[in-house]
Structure 1
């Protein structure tokens, strides 16, 4: 990771870092309040040598004491010095325990020794420090070999008696809180870096670039108000989300000037990444531009296009593939524009085989001849193979990536499944991207709602689409896959089951007049 990566983590996860830091500070404060105050008293002794009055003797004695100071400092915490102190002061402890509260430190390049004692009682701490200084002098006199006059050559004198401390040495609230803050910030940043390294979810275009070289051709922002509004291009055409779908349309049209795909699939790695919503809104924007578009629901496991568009879904793609109806019979117009919809029909027991059949290839050929754009909604790539099967029969695939939903290895595996069958990945649509503050504007120049322009599909018809009929009702009229039969009334009955939207119109014609008033035609 580079420096800018750490800066990005800091900006992204500063809240969690601050929470961890505050938690550590709170723990330090609690430990400070719970700790028993302890006091520290210090006495200081001076080590000298009895010698003659000549300069040489003084220099020799000074060098000797400086060499011996370290040994005398270690001697302070020995039982030889501690035991007399315990006995003198009547302390209820042992020499080994008392040694833990005593520190003897020689002052560098001097003959001084600082003796510090820590105790819960400030008076006792001072008394023990002074007693240790006196005991050290006695023990050194006994240990050093006497001179000719019977005296010890080393003299230890107390130069600074201990003073009873007025404030505890520990705990120190200021020091503990400062240390807790520093440790908390370090721990919080460490946790943030660890979470970033372990978090493999796709969140932005940089994460997509780590997985695939396919370009991100659109980033659809997340909008809480549009979570349950699947046709945002029709219901709120001036929103930022709707404008993002128009940008997708534009980028798709200029993606390949030499080989413009007439038929493409819209898929994702996992369910609920927004592929069906993307397919529906892409079809709407293409139809709004004046192109003849058909939206095909090829998700034969969990179809949703009929529900989103408010159309009858019991007769559709599967009905055509099993030969029980023609394409003209089941295609339904939507609104009053150039958009037609081929719903899924009833769910078959063998979706993959049906989608990979010759009948499906023939149907796609028909659709490509009659429409400018064929948008096919397919199941996700990882759970089933339906999308990969269809990708071989079309001009390519648009892969929808749900930000904060799919992991990088899942996206990589999904794209690999397309590459395995030599399918063309047209681009990536990054869906539900978190918007920055600078992007919270609305694409609307008019303050008068009555002057707000509407999409072509909405402008051509203000009438709501007919309600979708239940599968049970359609089955009662005679259409099912197991029986493989049409309604008793034939094509006319099927058209009635579709609310007058099926067999009396030719796919690809303008939807303003019925087919008996306009000649049938097809695109070469």
Structure 2
């Protein structure tokens, strides 16, 4: 893409981010929209309708000089009126003008209260003056407007120019040229305008609320969140937060025909594409950034999925700090990995069969005081190479990267590293830290598994990954279902 398109690309990215925030937080956006519109409607329909009546006056200059036809006199008069008429909008609110209105109409109000109902304006470059009055009674609005216009006229043409008890001729002549009529419709509230502003404001504030919530949300919640952090690591599968994952037996054992089982088969197939038959490519190390992201459940179900096809599979619980495989599968844990690596027992005594004769399980055994030393030992490395030769697939459940980097130790030996990201569980900062650490160690995960996806979103689209060789390197390409968007929930 050329440099001239940079601006458009940036705009597209911003648009996608906003749309992504709206998609993730649509409930927040809708609630904000409804609250704003409801507030505007409540304000609009609970206000007392007000009617505005207006009277118009015209100002002229009354020249009393002997030579009134002089052009200079006309210019001076026009200048004088312009300077005077600019003060009339303030003058109309004074006691001198409004008290006579109160007295003439017998109003039960004060000058201060009436002044808030009265206003006046002088259109630019004109000698016109518009006196307006707002009142809940349209007829009263017209009466007050006419009375205020008449009172202002009387003040301008007479009282203001009295001096020493003698009345002078006012240089300004103010005439009422249009009396106020009774208004037929209220001037406020403006229902149409208020509703339009409420709808527009609700939309804008809804978008802002969604974007702000997305920016302030510390947890990974969607595919887009994960891809923003691990954009070069393919997402090989998405598992929902269905109840079948909470049962004792793995999904493939208890619910072989369920949608969740199909998701696991898809993950199994995608991982099969990753194996190149070299080194430890058939050894899959499963880990996560932080605890409680579902890595153990994923490991156990993935092992069963491989065994379903008749492949010889070994599931190893290498999370010796917090072992979970034995409890998850309801198998014995008195003898396991720690005993086998330390040479206390043979593989025949430590490895158990589960479900089918081709699925074997090596639990953690009793916890050791130095798990890092044990897992980094030559005996452990020898064991991994041995089982890689004897089994079609080896699944190793390890501690979260936040706890230790045991998974990185296995990956450096040539095993495939599969990351599990628990949506709504892992924090963005924690996942970023984990991926940065792996990059520093020059370890590239084989892929990501998204866990705890919402079932409704998970049905919309699926992800398939095809891998080939190019220039001696493995290449990955995403293929999306027609009609779906890249980055949506699988």
Shared fold per TM-score greater than 0.5: yes
Partner of 1:6: 18
Is residue 2:286 matched to residue 1:274?
no
Q: Structure 1's 185 and 423: CA in aligned 2 closer, same or farther, altered over 3 A?
A: closer
Rounded Cα–Cα distance in structure 1 between residues aligned with 2:216 and 2:461: 34
Structure-to-structure mapping, 1:87-486, within 5 angstroms: 95=111, 98-108=114-124, 110-120=126-136, 124-142=140-158, 143=160, 151-165=169-183, 168-222=186-240, 224-229=242-247, 231-255=250-274, 257=276, 261-393=281-413, 395-434=415-454, 439=459
Q: Structure 1's 360 and 221: CA in aligned 2 closer, same or farther, altered over 3 A?
A: closer
Q: Structure 1's 418 and 437: CA in aligned 2 closer, same or farther, altered over 3 A?
A: closer
Q: CA deviation at 1:246?
A: 2.7
Partner of 1:23: 35
Contact 1:218/1:248 (<8 A) preserved = yes
Rounded Cα–Cα distance in structure 1 between residues aligned with 2:227 and 2:134: 61
- Largest Rg, 1 or 2: 1
CA-to-partner distance for each residue in 1:36-85, whole Å, 9 max, x for gaps? Answer: 44443322222234469989799869955567543434432345534554
Rounded Cα–Cα distance in structure 2 between residues aligned with 1:62 and 1:247: 92
Partner of 1:492: none
CA-to-partner distance for each residue in 1:273-330, whole Å, 9 max, x for gaps? Answer: 2211221222223333443221101122332222333321221112223432122211
Unaligned runs of 5+ in 2: 1-12, 463-490
Q: Report the 3-state secondary structure (helix = DSSP H, G, I; strand = E; otherwise coil) of the residue aligned with 1:345.
A: coil
Contact 1:288/1:337 (<8 A) preserved = no
Contact 1:214/1:428 (<8 A) preserved = no
Unaligned runs of 5+ in 1: 443-524
Q: Report the 3-state secondary structure (helix = DSSP H, G, I; strand = E; otherwise coil) of the residue aligned with 1:44.
A: strand
Q: CA deviation at 1:118?
A: 2.5
Rounded Cα–Cα distance in structure 1 between residues aligned with 2:295 and 2:155: 89
Q: Report the 3-state secondary structure (helix = DSSP H, G, I; strand = E; otherwise coil) of the residue aligned with 1:209.
A: helix
Contact 1:216/1:428 (<8 A) preserved = yes
Contact 2:157/2:172 (<8 A) preserved = yes
Q: Report the 3-state secondary structure (helix = DSSP H, G, I; strand = E; otherwise coil) of the residue aligned with 2:293.
A: coil
Q: Report the 3-state secondary structure (helix = DSSP H, G, I; strand = E; otherwise coil) of the residue aligned with 2:176.
A: strand
Q: Structure 1's 413 and 313: CA in aligned 2 closer, same or farther, altered over 3 A?
A: same
Q: Report the 3-state secondary structure (helix = DSSP H, G, I; strand = E; otherwise coil) of the residue aligned with 1:162.
A: coil
CA-to-partner distance for each residue in 1:104-163, whole Å, 9 max, x for gaps? Answer: 1124554322101234555554443223212222232245799xx963342212233334
TM-score normalised per structure 2:
0.77
CA RMSD of aligned residues (A): 3.6
CA-to-partner distance for each residue in 1:356-406, whole Å, 9 max, x for gaps? Answer: 333323332332333233211112111344434444445242111122322
Contact 2:280/2:414 (<8 A) preserved = no
Q: Structure 1's 304 and 210: CA in aligned 2 closer, same or farther, altered over 3 A?
A: same
Rounded Cα–Cα distance in structure 2 between residues aligned with 1:124 and 1:170: 16
Contact 1:217/1:429 (<8 A) preserved = yes
Q: Report the 3-state secondary structure (helix = DSSP H, G, I; strand = E; otherwise coil) of the residue aligned with 1:197.
A: helix
Contact 1:106/1:113 (<8 A) preserved = yes
TM-score normalised per structure 1:
0.72
Is residue 2:66 matched to residue 1:46?
no
Q: CA deviation at 1:437?
A: 7.0
Q: CA deviation at 1:428?
A: 1.5
Contact 1:217/1:251 (<8 A) preserved = no
Contact 1:39/1:125 (<8 A) preserved = yes
Rounded Cα–Cα distance in structure 2 between residues aligned with 1:336 and 1:154: 110
